[in-house]
Structure 1
Amino acid sequence: MKKFLKRLAIILVIFIVVLVGAVAVIASLFEDKVGQQITRELNKQLKSELVIQDFGLTVIRSFPNVAANLKGVVLKDTRGGALLEAQELSFRFGLMSLFSSKIKVRSVVISDGALNIEVDRQGNPNYNIFKESEEAPEEGGSSTAVALELARLRNIELIYADQSTRQEMAALVNDATFSGEFSAEKFSLKSEADITSRFADLDGIRYLPGKKISYDASILVNLEEGSYDIEEAVLNVEDNAFKVDGTIESWESGTYFDLFASGDDGNLEGVLALLPEQYAKSLQDFSSSGKFVFNALVKGQYNERQNPELRVEFGLQDGRLSSPRLDNPLKDVSFNAVFTNGKFRDNSSSVFTLESFKGYFNRELVEMRLEVANFDEPVIDFSLDGVAPLESVYGLLGNPKITGGSGEVEIKQLHLKGAYKDMIDPGRISRVEASGALEFDDAALSIKDEEILFDRGELRLEGNRMAVEGLRIEGAGSDISFMGSAYNILPVFFADSLNSQDVELLFDASLVAKSLDIDRLMKFSTLTEEEEQAPEEVKDSLKVAVVQKRQTVTSFLKGSFNADVEAFNYNLIEGNNFKGKLEFDNNIMGIRGEVTAFNGQLLLDGKTYFQDEPHLEAKLTCKAIDVTEFFRQSENFGQDVLQSQNLKGKLDALIAIYAYWDEEGNFDMDKLRVLAGVAIKNGELRDFGMLESFSSFVKIKDLERINFVDVQNYLEIRKQRLYLPAMFIRSNALNLTVSGEHTFGNEIEYNIKVNAGQVLAERFKRYDPSLKPKPAKRSGTFNLYYAILGTIDDYNIVSSKRRVKSDFEQSEIRKREIQRGLEQAFGAVQLLDEPEEWKDNSEYNPGQEEYLDFDMEGGG
């Protein structure tokens, strides 16, 4: 028996192989004939052009049927464009049709292509490509009969645009089947589809972006009456199932709908997926659990003049609302929501109502109500009351730098009522009813490893005014209190990114700080650690976004803070008792005030312009600043040659600063310009290594501590260079005039004039421990000229009278330019001239170089 079965199996396999092979051979023999018949028959039915690149018959994939495969198909529309493009259009028919005089097509499969349907403004479609019935050939004369029972679409891009109704849709039909006796006047249509929606734009509003849609439907079709009776249908949107039943009828005056949809096992995601993108975007990551009910009704005629009645109801009972932005879900949630297009069945009479919303955050009740009427010109009625624990809701603030929260914010009877157009217009905001308050109770946010505590305080909304009372913020080394009032909160809140309404947040407030750690607070605006690890191009775009966001925020601000800061620090810089005012005028922030710093007083008057490429203009007046502290707290200005321990004295200065940043927020050193008039009183230079080169003609002890009398000069920083015009220095070691340039790369070019006669005379005197400065006398003296060239670490000292005197002359021009710039900023600026006793001896021959007989070599 086993041997018999084995032989039978072998015989059957051989038979099937021979049969399939024979059929394949037969198909190849009939290939040209069938291809010509199908192509000829299709062209008889069409008014437009059909282009086919290739044709083939196969039975292997479609056995026991034969597949006639048209390759590279392009079907033109009525306008000469492509109505259908497909890599393959396959007709299926019975194997015995090959031996018949008439091929009977039973099914068609369209694969890997696009279907483009267009309707112009006059309502003319591009798919009217079939000949009228009197034009079409009679069935008896045709060699191909089409009696479709199955149509299938695979991987087809569907594009639909109707200019007459302002509707546009795009979707990818992954797989769709349609089965029925399509040649009959009445038949039952069964259809299944798996679709990925690209978008659906209706009257300029976008729906279903990137949504997964599928359905399984059974429909009674009556082509004679133009009716479609949905016997049973299940529509799935983002894994939410809706049962649909009802009828659709085609009338002469339009299309009549009588449809009902329901869902008993759905959730919030399904409803959000059906909402317009602009409304659903902020809630798209929310999900629900619990008893969710959905019902929808569409009833009435649709044509150019009217819409059907539309009513949607959904609600949740004993549920939860969750989101990745909520650390804890909102529990015991219940609400009812209703949308209706109202009496006139259009946007003007449409109303959405969210009633009886309540839920619990950590056993704290939250209640809400919302009504939006007239979708053409929305009127909003919104109420919110409850407690929001920051531990749960900090993610809703939408800032990735905020990583945690604690404490509570109590929302007290917040209520808004009015037209949306009034809420966004400062000139109409008085028509809006607004009230309520936010009260902080040890509410804290974790921001970039810092905890910011809103210790106490209240924000109270009174119409268009928001009062800030007793708001105290602690954290990041700071303790700040705010009081004041602001206007136009709602117009600013609802303003678009371009601020097209030119809204201004008007405010008048006071800021009192016991401490202010500026550099720790500034870190809040820098990139996060994860963002810093991103590729450079991504980091650059993030930096640009930070600058643009700062620009957007400051564009709304118009008002002032009276500031009183007890103590502040920025890096090593420390200040006390700042009293002044911060003023905002759109994208400009001005600051004026006085502060104790560097053991002296500073007067500050500056403006920062928050634009695409921000810049700063500031005036700084320094009074009796301790030079040692100035250098120490300024970290020696980034150089290690002249440091805080080398200097002593009191500094008075007038400084004008012009600083620039690029669009990514990077400081632009090339554009930095600083003008300064400085004066140092009772100055002392200690252990300055560069002066050791002068030890051959100045006592080494004199060089260890150099006391000099009052010195005043102008300075300029431009294009990463410090320019020092010629100035006279009178000290205990020697008297000299010096000028020069010092680049930010520590390249130097200093020019020095020395009183040689006085130096020679002092060589024979004893060391003077009193460190009294030398008198500025010329009697019996002559002057020598030296240039120090190179870098801080490798320089040379050369004798060059012409070079030095030329630089002194040029520096006088620069000095006058700096003086004019300072006078424009500060008014009159007084100079200290070189003493008359220190002028060049007119008897000296200027054309001859003069040298001291000492070996002068550079350091390093």
Structure 2
Amino acid sequence: MVKRLFKIFKWTVGIVVTLMLLISAALVIFKDDIKRYAIQELNLHLNKKLHVSYIDVTLWKTFPSLSLDFDDVLIHDKFGEEQKLDTTLYAKKLSLRFNPMDFLESNYTVKSIILKKGIINLKVDEQNRVNYDLLKPTEGESSENFEFSLEKIKLDDTDFSYQNDITKQYYASHLDQLNLSGEFSATKYTMQAQTDMMVKQIKREALTLISNKRANCNIAISMNTEDDIFEIVNADVKIQNLPFHVEGRVSPDSIRFAINAKKLNLTDVANNFTLAQLNTVKELNGNGDVSFDLELIGLNKTDANLNIHAGFSIQNGSLANTTFSLSNIDARGKYTSDANTSELELEKLHFLSSGSAFDAQLKISDFDKPLIRGNAKGAINLAAVHTLFGPFGLQDLEGNLDVNSAFNLRMNNPVYNPKDLSIYALKGNIHLKNITAQFLNDTRIFKNINGEIGVRNEEAVIKNLYLTIGESDFNISGELNNIAGYFKGTETLFIDAYTRSKNINVDDFSSTGGSMTEASRSWLLPTKIKGNVTVNAAEIKYGGHTYSDITTRMRLTDRSLEFSHLKGRNAGADISGNVLVTEKNPSVLTVSTDLYSNNIRFAPLFKEWNNFEQTVIAAENIQGIAKIKLKFTAPFDLITGLNKDLIASTLDIEIEDGALYNVETFKEITASIKSTSATLLISPQKINAFEAKLLNLKFNKMSNQVIIRDGKLYIPEMKIESNALDVLVSGEHSFNNDIDYHFDFRFREIKGKNKQTEFGEVVDDGTGFRVYLRMYGNIDDPSYAWDKDAQKKDREEKRQEEINTAKSILKSGFGINKKDTTILEYTVDHGPKEEITLSFDTDTLAPPEEKEEEKKKSKFQLKLEQLKEQNEKENEVEFQIGQ
């Protein structure tokens, strides 16, 4: 018996091995014929041109099936007769599986199709043409031996998408694995579909229903190919592990699908559906029940829209973390879409925040250019808004809003220009309460934001909007007009405002503290903003300096700020005038000033401004009071810095009761005199006495005009009368402290000034030998020399003066050249005369005490109260959606 069994086994194995060898030999012999035959048959069945890089026939890798493998299969888009280069189908490997025993009988029946690492893009264009009509009737040309009797279709690692330009539908997913099985050749059968996938996007017009969610399903579909009816028998569908009940039926003339879910957990829904902003709900101890019903109904046509009806609700919801708490969340809404319109309606939204209620209604239609209508009333916790829907460009947002508003507006370009709004109706009042905000990548923190804003259509009124930035504080009231036109970028925003500040530190406005680069060069001053802002600041700090009691009226125009009637104090001096700031090139601010002051005291001024970055004259070396008139223009490039060569300035200055003490440079002047032959004419005692006066130099009045241009400060010739000597001074001083000064004084003044006698002061007649001294080089190490060029010039001027005097005497005394108007009449200087001055005390009458005027409401407060009264009166009528 054992021998017989062994004999049967031996013959069986021998037959199988022989068959396998025969099949292998046949594959080797007829391999090329099989390839040609397969290509010929495929071309008879396909309506598109097939591109293949390599074809192979294998058995042992796919045993017990025989496989016809195609590498790098590609089919381009083709709409009717129009050929395109886009991809309809691509597969790294496409395999057609056969029964190897059928090959021995020349029966080539495809049992299964396997596609790996593929791309499938199905499209319907605007002309209702499709790119997926891959198969065509064979019209009797196909061989009876080659046919498809599919039992299995498998797709691995494949991207799949469907786009309908008529209905504006778009579906995209990545199929990790899709298995379809059934008797596909039968007229009635049940197809089993199993898949694991990533749903990349399900989109209808501008509304995205699902984005980047994991899904898996196991569906049984009853297929009736005779009547073209397909119906879902059983469906187990999960999206991110959320279970859904699915029903569906497709007939030749209609399509219907229904999806619903009951009492899903709020946290799970928020993390897995539609609103990506709600992904943080699981961190907020979210709770509540979510239910929804979705139905899709329509005609079975590629150019027909599926009508969508969806309803959703949230009950007993709550969200909370360490900064906020939302409770009693109750929401109800619906989404509808047909061939003409799509609309999302939030019929009810209610929740409690910090014990205060918030209620709202909202309707959004036309998602390409969303029309948004609704109303809102109650308290809003901004920390919750930032956490759930942010970040809005903010890394932190806290505080509360109390709102009472109704709105009807359209976003004309939500993707590329969200500020492009058309406001049809907008009214409401907003109270800001203890808001704190900080932008992303910004060191500044805006804190203590409180105030009230009233809005009515294009107009907004701000009342006592208070905020702080670092050490700086602001209290703003004002009115804005043409708001929507400005945000749209087509019209000008008009401002009329008033701001008060106790302290402003300009360093608080730096967003990063880092230096700017050419790559960050941009426009700073706004365009399309016009108006006036009255500024009142008790103290402004900038660059280590303090300015106090600042008042001005700032006028805004396109890339220009004009500060008129500017008043303030610095280093004890009162300053007034006008300042203009313009921006003609990005990040380059041109500042022009016209400033005045009548009481600049040098000692505190030099101390405040660190002696103007020089060591020759310090705060302890100078005294005096100055009157100035400054006109100044310079471009401040915020990236490369101030170009000093482009400064253009004139300074009219008048100094009274001036004094210089212990100036080291004056010692160097007397030292240069001691080192010359002047010591032969002047005794050392006289030089020492002269030096003592220089080190305690006082002068009553001095005036001149100082000019800055081409990177240099020019001092025209001026006369300084002092207790030491009377001197003519002129010179140049560059910004790198290179100097060239010229001094001109009479030699006898070094020996001593006018003397007093019992008959009065002996007056000098102005004659005598003059000394011309030049100081040049760098201010920190100057050189001194006798100024021969100045001496020669002075001699020429005096010679010309004497000639003119002689002509005047001849004209006045003898009538010579009477008709020459260039010759002046000669006048005799009779010298000083004694004057007797009587002074009497004058009575002063104190002005009557003024009664304190009653405080009046500002125009902004009156305007806000008017808007508030109108809005509250109209908001008493409950806002109804759809009316």
Give 1:469's aligned amino acid: K
Instruction: Tell me the SS of whatever aligns to 2:770.
Output: coil
Match for residue 156 of structure 2? 154
Partner of 1:509: 497
Residue 292 of structure 1: how far off its partner (Å) = 1.0
Match of 1:328 in 2: 324
Q: Give the corresponding residue for 1:311.
A: 309
C-alpha separation in 1, matches of 2:246 and 2:545: 71
3-state DSSP of counterpart to 1:697: helix
RMSD: 4.9
Is the contact made by 1:114 and 1:158 (CA closer than 8 Å) also made in structure 2? yes
* Residues 776 and 838, structure 1, Cα contact 8 Å, conserved in 2: no
Query: 1:297 corresponds to which letter in structure 2?
Result: E
What is the aligned partner in structure 2 of residue 55 from structure 1? 55
The answer to whether the aligner puts 1:657 opposite 2:629 as a matched pair is: no
Change (3 A) 1:693 1:384: same
Aligned with 1:750 (options 733, 739, 745): 739
What SS is found at the alignment partner of 2:509? Answer: helix
Q: CA deviation at 1:294?
A: 1.5
Q: Is the 8 A contact 2:470 2:508 kept in 1?
A: yes
Call closer, same or farther: CA 1:128–1:421 in 2, change over 3 Å: closer
Matches of 1:415 and 1:34 in 2, distance apart?
A: 76
Q: Which whole-Å CA distance do the structure 2 matches of 1:214 and 1:722 have between them?
A: 79
The question of 1:259 aligning with 2:289 is answered: no
- Give the secondary-structure state (helix, strand or coil) at the position aligned to 2:41: helix
Kept after mapping to 1: 8 A contact 2:772/2:788: no
* Aligned counterpart for 2:651 among listed residues 670, 677, 695: 677
Per the alignment, do residues 218 and 136 of structure 1 end up closer, same or farther by CA in structure 2, a change over 3 Å counting? farther
Q: Which of 527, 535, 541 is the aligned partner of 1:569?
A: 541
Q: Please tell me whether the aligned partners of residues 266 and 317 of structure 2 are also in contact (alpha carbons under 8 angstroms).
A: no
> Is residue 410–residue 421 contact of structure 2 (8 Å, CA) maintained in 1?
no
121, 128, 150: which one pairs with 1:123?
128
645 and 305 in structure 1: CA distance in 2 versus 1, 3 angstrom threshold: farther
Q: Secondary structure at the match of 2:251?
A: strand
Instruction: Work out whether 1:780 is the aligned partner of 2:769.
Output: yes
Instruction: Tell me, yes or no, if structure 1 residue 696 matches structure 2 residue 676.
Output: no
C-alpha distance in 1, partners of 2:51/2:641? 62
Give the structure 2 partner of residue 458 of structure 1: 452
How far is the alpha carbon of 1:315 from its aligned partner? Answer: 1.3
Q: 2:492, 2:302 → 1: CA distance?
A: 39
What CA deviation, in whole Å up to 9, does each residue of 1:465-491 have, x standing for no partner?
Answer: 4443344445643454333443445x2
SS where residue 49 of structure 1 aligns?
coil
Q: Which amino acid aligns with 2:362?
A: L
> Residue by residue, what CA displacement relative to the aligned partner does 1:712-734 show, whole Å, maximum 9, x if unpaired?
2333366xx34435444636478
Deviation of residue 581 (structure 1)?
1.5
1:335, CA displacement in angstroms? Answer: 1.1
For each residue in 1:752-796, what CA deviation from the matched residue of structure 2 results, as whole angstroms up to 9, or x when unmatched?
2233x63x555555999xxxxx9996742253555415xx66776
Pairing of 1:178-327 with structure 2 (within 5 A): 178-196=180-198, 202-203=204-205, 208=210, 210=212, 212=214, 214-237=216-239, 240-251=242-253, 255-262=254-261, 264-265=263-264, 267=266, 270=269, 288-301=286-299, 307-321=305-319, 327=323
Alignment-derived partner of residue 584 in structure 1: 556
Q: Which whole-Å CA distance do the structure 2 matches of 1:31 and 1:120 have between them?
A: 41
Task: Give TM-score, length-normalised by structure 2.
Answer: 0.70
Note the C-alpha offset of 1:264. Answer: 3.9
Kept after mapping to 2: 8 A contact 1:176/1:194: yes
Higher relative contact order (CA 8 A, sep 6+): 2
Preserved CA contact (<8 Å) 2:725 2:753: no
Deviations 1:37-86 (A, max 9, x none): 43343233234432322234555654444443322322344315343333
Q: Percent identity?
A: 16
Q: Deviation of residue 338 (structure 1)? A: 1.6
Alignment-derived partner of residue 359 in structure 2 = 367
Equivalent residue in structure 1 for 2:596, among 607, 615, 622? 622
Aligned residue number for residue 850 of structure 1: none
CA distance in 1, matches of 2:71, 2:237: 33
- Structure 1: give runs of 5+ residues left out of the alignment: 1-15, 769-773, 809-835, 844-860
For 1:671 and 1:263, how far apart are their aligned partners in 2?
Answer: 76
Contact 2:369 2:412 in 1 (8 A): no
Q: What is the number of equivalent residue pairs in this alignment?
A: 740
User: 1:398-429 CA deviation, whole Å, 9 max, x = no partner?
Assistant: 57666464xx64515x1214454899999996
Measured in 1, the distance between the counterparts of 2:478 and 2:429 equals 17
Q: 1:158 to 1:353 in 2, by over 3 A?
A: closer
Conservation of the 8 A alpha-carbon contact between 2:307 and 2:339? no
Is residue 778–residue 837 contact of structure 1 (8 Å, CA) maintained in 2? Answer: no
Question: What corresponds to 2:843 in structure 1?
Answer: none
Aligned to 1:854: none
Pick from 84, 87, 93: which aligns with 1:88? 93
| TM-score normalized with structure 1 length | 0.72
Structure 1 position 710, deviation (Å) = 1.9
Compared CA separation, residues 127 and 463, structure 1 to 2 (3 A): closer
Deviation at 1:679?
A: 1.3
Instruction: Note the alpha carbon deviations across 1:345-392, whole angstroms, 9 max, x for none.
Output: 3454x5433233222333333332223467688665433233345665
- Which has the larger Rg? 2
Cα distance in 1 for partners of 2:102, 2:55 equals 18
Give the Cα separation in 2 of the matches to 1:677 and 1:153. Answer: 85
Q: 8 Å contact 1:77–1:129 — kept in the other structure?
A: no
Deviation at 1:293, TM superposition (A): 0.8
1:340 partner amino acid: T
Tell me whether 1:432 sits opposite 2:425 in the alignment.
yes
Q: 1:437 to 1:100 in 2, by over 3 A?
A: same
Map Cα deviations across residues 264-301 of structure 1 (whole Å, 9 max, x no partner).
425477579765xxxx5776766653211111112233
Segments of structure 2 that go 5 or more residues without pairing to the other structure are 1-15, 674-687, 756-762, 802-883
Q: Whole-Å Cα distance in 2 between the matches of residues 304 and 90 of structure 1?
A: 30
Q: CA deviation digits over 1:486-512, x for unaligned, max 9?
A: 3445x27xx75xx244252x3433223
Taking the aligned partners of 1:282 and 1:767, their CA distance within structure 2 comes to: 91
